[in-house]
Amino acid sequence: MATSIRSFKLNTGAKLPSVGLGTYALFPSTIEQAIKVGYRHIDCASFYGNEKEIGSVLKKLIDDGSVKRDELFITSKLWCNDHLPEDVPKALDKTLQDLQIDYVDLYLVHWPVSLKKESPMPTPETLTKPNLPSTWKAMEALYHSGKAKAIGVSNFSSKKLQDLFKVAQVVPAVNQVECHPVWQQQSLHELCKSKGVHLSGYSPLGSQTKREARLKVLQNQIVSEVAEKLGRTTAQVALRWGLQMGHSVIPKSSSEARLQENLDVFDWSIPEDLFVKFSNIPQEKLVRGVEFAHETLGFYKTIDELWDGEI
């Protein structure tokens, strides 16, 4: 009998649904459909520019009794131009207003990168020097206020996470990073596990915006072979691999059929003899964050600095 792995327990005690819905560039109708077919973990971000539309969907479905607020796990993220301590609470208040909710279940620092306040789009001229300890202190205040039931980070390397541990009074509940069979993040996984930080994998089917990157995962030879042997799709195998590795996954799709397919990962498992084959997949980072590094104007001069060599 397969272990279903429907949720993971965070260091706050909260349960994080193991399969979430990525909302970048999704239409409200798709998000409504996803909640109706069973998604309960909704991954938002102010930078995605659609929190108001998502808020309208949430209000409609909560008001008509389709779902209760406490059945949903809603994540949002602090964007890079809101890192100053005085801007952090304002950014969350704006998100709560847009989403039409009183609290988020999880609030993440989207990137370890800061931008000029008036410049949401990263360009070499808008990059500033981040002060992650002061930003994190402001995040901790949101946690203590109850407006964010848990706080965490995203796109943090092992080194940046270790640096944060040195100053954090509240240990991050989550580090949300790129994670899939072609970029498995083994050492980061081990660090997070040792510190009680849940690793959550975005782009679990490959990059959400680059088709060729997605194909590197979904057409990978080992992923394809395992899918064929199990009678599953390559997407289902990539997602189930993530759950068995011990991290939540946040796929996105605008197709109703694929939304349902991506949830069909609980009542079967990848047997050990096939699971070990994933360790033979050559590793390649697909989301590189090149816009956040610049050789003269950036705090990070290279993407190698941004990721502290973990690339």
Q: Which of 106, 115, 194 is nearest to 154 (CA)?
A: 106
The CB density around residue 171, as the number of other CB atoms within 10 Å, is 15
Q: Distance between CA 191 and CA 176 in Å, rounded?
A: 14
Pairing of strands 15-17, 7-9: antiparallel
Listed in sequence order, the residues at least 6 apart from 15 whose beta carbon sits closer than 8 Å to its beta carbon are 7, 8, 9, 73
CA–chain centroid gap for 20, Å, is 9
Sign, CA torsion 34/40/44/49: positive
Listed in sequence order, the residues at least 6 apart from 252 whose beta carbon sits closer than 8 Å to its beta carbon are 21, 22, 23, 24, 26, 208
- Residue 85: Cβ-neighbour burial (10 angstroms; 0-12, 13-18, 19+): middle
Query: Which among 39, 48, 107, 202 is annotated as catalytic?
Result: 48
7 torsion bin: left (phi>0), alpha (psi -120 to 50), beta (else): beta
Q: Based on the residue annotation, tell me whether 48 is a catalytic residue of this protein.
A: yes
The CB-side HSE value for 270 (13 A sphere, CA atoms) comes to 27
Would you name the residues annotated as active-site residues?
48
